[in-house]
Chains A and B, each alone.
Chain A
Amino acid sequence: MDIGSATFSIYRQLLPILASAGAGLSTLALLAGTAKLKRSKSSALPADPEARQPKYVLAAKQLLEQYEEHNPPPMETQSAIHLAITAFEQNRAASTPIKKSKS
């Protein structure tokens, strides 16, 4: 095998690996876009980047405040809120505590 063909062979082998490094960089960049998780301040939220969206943060905080006050909201008589409260109370009562973030 001459040097030229050997170089070409190595090039052929390395090319997919170099290309995949680009894919890896893109993966990291995409993951980092939702990686507020570990650095977020709130402790009542599940440790998942998706749960850090404002709409979920608002809901979780409302549930936590409500739970801490031991005072069911008098105005909210819908059944759906009872579903939320029941599930939340079950979560608090469960042996697995909510993981606190490292802020």
Chain B
Amino acid sequence: MSQDSQLERSITWGMIPFGSSGLQVRHLALWLGVGIWAALTLVGTQLQGFICLSLNIFFLALILLATWATRTISLTKMATSFCAGGFILGVISLLIMSVPPELTNDPLLRTLAIVPIEESCKLLPVFFLLWRGRRFSTWTLGATDILLLGAASGAGFAFAQDAYVHQSDPVRQFFFVLIPAAEIVSGRLSCGGAILSSLAAGTFGLGLLFAHRRAMKLFVLPLGLILAILDHFGLDYAQMPGAAPWLVATLNFVTVNGYLAAAIFVLLLLACIGADLYVLASSLPKLKELKYFSRKDRRESIDKLWDSSLDLRKLSFAFFRWRRKPIGGDLSLTVAILAKRLVNRYNALEPTSVTVTGGMSSAGLKVNFADTGKSIVIAPENLDQPLLSRSKELAGQLPVAAQLNLPERYHILQDGSAGGMGIVYKGKDTTTGAEVAIKVMHPQHSASKTHIQRFLLEARASSTLQHPHIVSLSDFGITDRSVAWLVMEWLEGKDLEQILKRERTIKLARFLKIFSQTASALAHSHSKGIIHRDVKPSNIILIRKGEEDDFVKIVDFGLAKMAPKDGEENFHLTLTGDTVGSPMFMSPEQCGGKNLDRRSDIYSLGCVMYSALTGKPPFTAESAGQLFYKQMYEMPPRPTSLNPTLEMAKTIEPLLFKALQKEPGKRFNSMEELYLELTRIGGLVSSSGFR
């Protein structure tokens, strides 16, 4: 049996065949235990047991509601404490049964031993859970958390005790009381186990939170337990033969009176909430990663937001203790892990899941993103389209070269191939004798004046780019058949897509060389106000220049701006018949149809870099719609999980994730910044000998 299956078995206690996925024995045991406990108690005590249970649950619900702004404790832990309280009652009952009655009924022994033991035992689940979490979770608890644990334990204890034990009290008469979890003992109202245990646990929690103050540790920490013991003592003392009337009266007033104890409890609850709020509001430094709603448009579901909010509270409590008593060991590790987790969350390194709904209409499939309230429409022809290149399909639609009517100085030498936004032919400039690439607009766009105007506009813009790593544009125009054309330098080499298809991944040194050139070219483009918008491996051509291999040339500049209309930009690549695999490199804002800026290219380049190092694009899917969704809402797996041999992973991974941030503002500020970082790492690689 593997270690994983052993681990799973130890958690589930095994599986019972049931339905499609089976039933955990542990779950069965849990509900069986609850069933036995509730059934035996309710059958044995009938209406009274039921009312006691209801009052205790109601009491817990009330204080849970009161502490919603400060609590970090999980409901599972509270349920554990509640059940453990019920179990402890049974253990105590068993112990009492085994002791001769004359001893248990001895007033002195009962006052000095049994009462303190009983009140302390009610807190055993709290102490156990605190001990169990001593290396992490205990440091993350506020005062209200510990109060809640005590309340749950006391409620579990009191439910059965009140139902069974106090029922047999001859003078007891049940009636509904105004204080939940209070009980009538010997004809008098007394606070029940839940309130007394809450008192004891609450002051313990306050003392633990402010343990750096000696007075709090010495006096406040045990105060609640002392009060609970006194309350119980007062109750028993009144039953003692020969009890002094003045003391009985005093105890009746001070301790046994349920309303007074309840009032003390309410004050303590307010004190705990106040103390926790003070810690939450004041302890953490004002860092943007440690704010509750620093990213208002963050795509987090409600439960994940609540989870992050709890982690922030936990960090506040742990940091509060660590700052005041900066000891090492477990407390500092707790602070470190929580702070790092929140940084990861801020940087969105953790995958998020978003519920997607949608339905077909005449326009296509409307996909709704629940968290953002936004939607996208995927055209019917793009639905369930496999992410494969359609180049071969398009090859059959290429126009005959002779029909293009290009200027006479250009001769077409080779048939064209579909790529980018148009068709590329190998040609020759008869004036200079140079081989050139002649790119013509795809015929399907030739009928559109808007397309032609934009094509020429972009061609003019591209002609302004003079950079060694950008393909140079030498001429452009439009034929009398309304076919727009561009003449560029002819590149003899392979594109990155072909290289990755053959080699899967590239080494770090080569990666840095290729992408620093690419980033440099794109930075130049951005400086001229031109956004590429279609950065992908097939647009990065590697040629040999002189003695130098892997000389980068970026192609297809500006053509990706050829969106047919506003609002359809996010689908331009599929609508224009280019490979529908391009969404693999589209930025979230591109997928969402938002306005783009230069940071969109940074994301796309991040996707390409990710592919080059891992052999896989950040996201893969079976349809364009699924891919859009992933680009917008999910983070890719860590590169090292796909390529464990990735060199300098600790340096490269943060770089990739920074480029791949969903929010443009969290990416590199500029392509120049990314270029400088790649160059800096290139220097480190050279000095460390990575090749």
Residues of A in contact with B (beta carbons under 8 Å apart): 12-13, 15-36, 39-41, 45-51, 55-56, 58-60, 62-63, 65-66, 69, 71, 73-76, 78-81, 83-88, 90-91, 93-96, 98-99, 103
A26 touches B329 (CB 8 A): no
A83 touches B339 (CB 8 A): yes
Stretch at the interface among B81-89, B401-409, B562-570: B81-89
**In the bound complex, what is the Cα–Cα distance between A51 and B137 (angstroms)?**
7
B135 touches A48 (CB 8 A): yes
A34 touches B76 (CB 8 A): yes
A21 touches B337 (CB 8 A): no
Given contacts A20-B89, A75-B658, contact A87 B332 (CB under 8 A): yes
- A-B complex: 3 closest residue pairs judged by Cβ atoms: A20-B90, A94-B328, A22-B36
**In the bound complex, what is the Cα–Cα distance between A20 and B311 (angstroms)?**
34
A20 touches B7 (CB 8 A): no
A66: chain B residues at CB < 8 Å are: 650
Given contacts A21-B90, A90-B332, contact A81 B339 (CB under 8 A): yes
**In the bound complex, what is the Cα–Cα distance between A79 and B291 (angstroms)?**
13
**In the bound complex, what is the Cα–Cα distance between A87 and B36 (angstroms)?**
47
B332 touches A80 (CB 8 A): no
**B26, closest chain A residue (CB):** A29
A90 touches B326 (CB 8 A): yes
Interchain CB contact (< 8 A) of B83 among A26, A78, A88: A26
**In the bound complex, what is the Cα–Cα distance between A99 and B328 (angstroms)?**
14
**In the bound complex, what is the Cα–Cα distance between A31 and B681 (angstroms)?**
48
A51 touches B135 (CB 8 A): yes
**B342, closest chain A residue (CB):** A80
Determine whether B79 belongs to the interface, using a CB cutoff of 8 Å to chain A. yes
Interchain CB contact (< 8 A) of A20 among B93, B336, B651: B93
A15 touches B164 (CB 8 A): yes
Enumerate 28 A-B pairs (CB-CB under 8 Å) in ascending A order.
A15-B164, A16-B41, A17-B93, A20-B93, A22-B36, A22-B37, A23-B33, A23-B84, A23-B89, A23-B156, A24-B86, A26-B29, A26-B30, A29-B27, A30-B83, A31-B80, A32-B10, A32-B13, A33-B26, A35-B11, A40-B7, A48-B135, A51-B135, A76-B343, A83-B339, A84-B336, A87-B333, A91-B330
B160: chain A residues at CB < 8 Å are: 16, 19-20, 23
Determine whether B655 belongs to the interface, using a CB cutoff of 8 Å to chain A. yes
**In the bound complex, what is the Cα–Cα distance between A8 and B32 (angstroms)?**
25
**In the bound complex, what is the Cα–Cα distance between A30 and B78 (angstroms)?**
10
**A48, closest chain B residue (CB):** B136
A40: chain B residues at CB < 8 Å are: 7
A16 touches B343 (CB 8 A): no
A59 touches B344 (CB 8 A): yes
A55 touches B344 (CB 8 A): yes
Given contacts A26-B37, A91-B333, contact A16 B340 (CB under 8 A): no
B336 touches A87 (CB 8 A): yes
**In the bound complex, what is the Cα–Cα distance between A89 and B20 (angstroms)?**
48
A88: chain B residues at CB < 8 Å are: 332-333, 336, 340
**A44, closest chain B residue (CB):** B333
A65: chain B residues at CB < 8 Å are: 650
Task: Mark out the residues of chain B between 605 and 639 whose CB falls within 8 Å of any chain A CB in the assembled complex.
Answer: none
A74 touches B80 (CB 8 A): no
**In the bound complex, what is the Cα–Cα distance between A33 and B87 (angstroms)?**
18
A73 touches B343 (CB 8 A): no
**Chain B nearest Cβ from A15, distance in angstroms:** 5
A27 touches B87 (CB 8 A): yes
A50: chain B residues at CB < 8 Å are: 133, 136-137
**A67, closest chain B residue (CB):** B336
Given contacts A16-B41, A20-B87, A76-B654, contact A30 B80 (CB under 8 A): yes
Interchain CB contact (< 8 A) of B34 among A22, A81, A83, A93: A22
**B656, closest chain A residue (CB):** A75
B164: chain A residues at CB < 8 Å are: 15-16
A25: chain B residues at CB < 8 Å are: 29-30, 32-33, 36
**B80, closest chain A residue (CB):** A30
Interchain CB contact (< 8 A) of A17 among B7, B90, B285, B347: B90
**In the bound complex, what is the Cα–Cα distance between A8 and B7 (angstroms)?**
45
Interchain CB contact (< 8 A) of B133 among A48, A69, A87: A48
Given contacts A27-B80, A47-B135, contact A73 B337 (CB under 8 A): no
Task: Mark out the residues of chain B between 181 and 235 whose CB falls within 8 Å of any chain A CB in the assembled complex.
Answer: none
A80 touches B346 (CB 8 A): yes
Interchain CB contact (< 8 A) of B336 among A21, A36, A91, A95: A91
B30: chain A residues at CB < 8 Å are: 25-26, 29-30
What is the count of residue pairs linking A and B with beta-carbon distances less than 8 angstroms? 255
**In the bound complex, what is the Cα–Cα distance between A55 and B32 (angstroms)?**
32
A19 touches B86 (CB 8 A): yes
A49: chain B residues at CB < 8 Å are: 132
Interchain CB contact (< 8 A) of B79 among A30, A59, A60, A87: A30
Given contacts A25-B32, A74-B680, contact A63 B135 (CB under 8 A): no
B349: chain A residues at CB < 8 Å are: 58
B285: chain A residues at CB < 8 Å are: 79, 83
A46 touches B337 (CB 8 A): yes
**In the bound complex, what is the Cα–Cα distance between A94 and B6 (angstroms)?**
34
**B311, closest chain A residue (CB):** A55
**A57, closest chain B residue (CB):** B337
**B32, closest chain A residue (CB):** A25
B36 touches A56 (CB 8 A): no
**In the bound complex, what is the Cα–Cα distance between A65 and B38 (angstroms)?**
49
**B85, closest chain A residue (CB):** A23
Determine whether B289 belongs to the interface, using a CB cutoff of 8 Å to chain A. yes
B11: chain A residues at CB < 8 Å are: 32-33, 35-36
Given contacts A16-B160, A56-B341, A76-B343, contact A26 B322 (CB under 8 A): no
B86: chain A residues at CB < 8 Å are: 19-20, 22-24
A23 touches B680 (CB 8 A): no
Determine whether B288 belongs to the interface, using a CB cutoff of 8 Å to chain A. yes
B80 touches A103 (CB 8 A): no
**A65, closest chain B residue (CB):** B650
Determine whether B302 belongs to the interface, using a CB cutoff of 8 Å to chain A. no
**In the bound complex, what is the Cα–Cα distance between A17 and B97 (angstroms)?**
10
Task: Mark out the residues of chain B between 32 and 75 whose CB falls within 8 Å of any chain A CB in the assembled complex.
Answer: 32-38, 40-41, 44
Determine whether B400 belongs to the interface, using a CB cutoff of 8 Å to chain A. no
A94: chain B residues at CB < 8 Å are: 327-329, 332
Given contacts A29-B27, A50-B133, A73-B654, contact A24 B344 (CB under 8 A): no
**In the bound complex, what is the Cα–Cα distance between A40 and B133 (angstroms)?**
16
**Chain B nearest Cβ from A6, distance in angstroms:** 15
B326: chain A residues at CB < 8 Å are: 90
B260: chain A residues at CB < 8 Å are: none
A95: chain B residues at CB < 8 Å are: 328-329
Determine whether B604 belongs to the interface, using a CB cutoff of 8 Å to chain A. no
Determine whether B287 belongs to the interface, using a CB cutoff of 8 Å to chain A. yes
A27 touches B84 (CB 8 A): yes
A16 touches B339 (CB 8 A): no
A80 touches B136 (CB 8 A): no
Determine whether B335 belongs to the interface, using a CB cutoff of 8 Å to chain A. yes
Starting from the known contacts A23-B86, A25-B30, A91-B332, 6 additional A-B residue pairs (CB-CB under 8 Å) come to: A20-B91, A23-B34, A48-B132, A48-B134, A56-B341, A58-B349
Chain B 356-393: CB-based contact to A (< 8 A → 1; otherwise 0): 00000000000000000000000000000000000000
